[in-house]
Structure 1
Amino acid sequence: MLYIMRHGKTEWNALHKIQGRTDIPLNEEGRLMAEKAWEEYKDLHIDVCYCSPLIRAVETAQIVLKTRKIPIIKDERLMEMSFGDYEGIENSFAIPDCPINILFQKPGEYHESIGGAETWEELFARTGAFLKEVIDPQLQEGKDILIVGHGAMNASIICQVKGMPIEEFWSAGLEQCKILEV
Structure 2
Amino acid sequence: MRLYIVRHGETDWNRIHRVQGRTDIPLNDYGRHLARETAEGMKGIRIDLGYTSPLLRAKETARILLGDRDVPLYEDSRIEELSFGSYEGMRTGGEEKDAQSEAFQRFFTDTAHYIPPQDGETVPQLYERTGDFLAEICAKEELQDKSILVSTHGAAMTALLNRIRGNLSVSEFWRDEVPPNCSVTEVEVRDGKPRIIREGVIYYKEKVKKWKTV
For 1:169, the equivalent position in structure 2 comes to 173
For 1:146, the equivalent position in structure 2 comes to 149
2:170 and 2:142 map into 1 onto residues whose CA distance is 25
* Residue 98 (1) aligns with residue 108 (2): no
Pairwise CA distance, 1:116:
2.4
Pairwise CA distance, 1:92:
5.6
Alignment root-mean-square deviation, CA = 2.1
Pairwise CA distance, 1:3:
1.8
1:115-157 per-position Cα deviation (integer Å, ceiling 9, x unaligned)? 4220012111111111122343259723222210100111111
Correspondence list, 1:113-128, <5 A: 113-128=116-131
Pairwise CA distance, 1:109:
2.6
Q: Is the CA contact 1:81–1:118 (under 8 Å) kept in the aligned structure 2?
A: yes
- Do the aligned partners of residues 148 and 35 (structure 1) sit closer, same or farther apart at CA in structure 2, a change above 3 Å counting? same
Secondary structure at 2:34 match in 1: helix
1:38-73 per-position Cα deviation (integer Å, ceiling 9, x unaligned)? 101111122221100000000001011112122211
Q: Is the CA contact 1:86–1:115 (under 8 Å) kept in the aligned structure 2?
A: no
Pairwise CA distance, 1:166:
2.7
Larger mean Cα displacement after TM superposition, 169-178 or 51-60: 169-178
- Do the aligned partners of residues 30 and 49 (structure 1) sit closer, same or farther apart at CA in structure 2, a change above 3 Å counting? same
For 1:68, the equivalent position in structure 2 comes to 69
TM-score (norm 2): 0.77
Specify which of 136, 142, 146 is matched with residue 133 of structure 1.
136
Larger mean Cα displacement after TM superposition, 58-67 or 41-50: 41-50
More helix by proportion, 1 or 2?
A: 1
Correspondence list, 1:9-28, <5 A: 9-28=10-29
For 1:83, the equivalent position in structure 2 comes to 84
Unaligned runs of 5+ in 2: 187-195, 197-214
Secondary structure at 2:102 match in 1: coil
Identity among equivalent positions (%) equals 39
Q: Count matched residues.
A: 181
Q: Is the CA contact 1:4–1:147 (under 8 Å) kept in the aligned structure 2?
A: yes
1:97 and 1:68 map into 2 onto residues whose CA distance is 42
For 1:29, the equivalent position in structure 2 comes to 30
More strand by proportion, 1 or 2?
A: 2
Q: For 1:117, give the aligned amino acid.
A: G
Secondary structure at 1:153 match in 2: helix
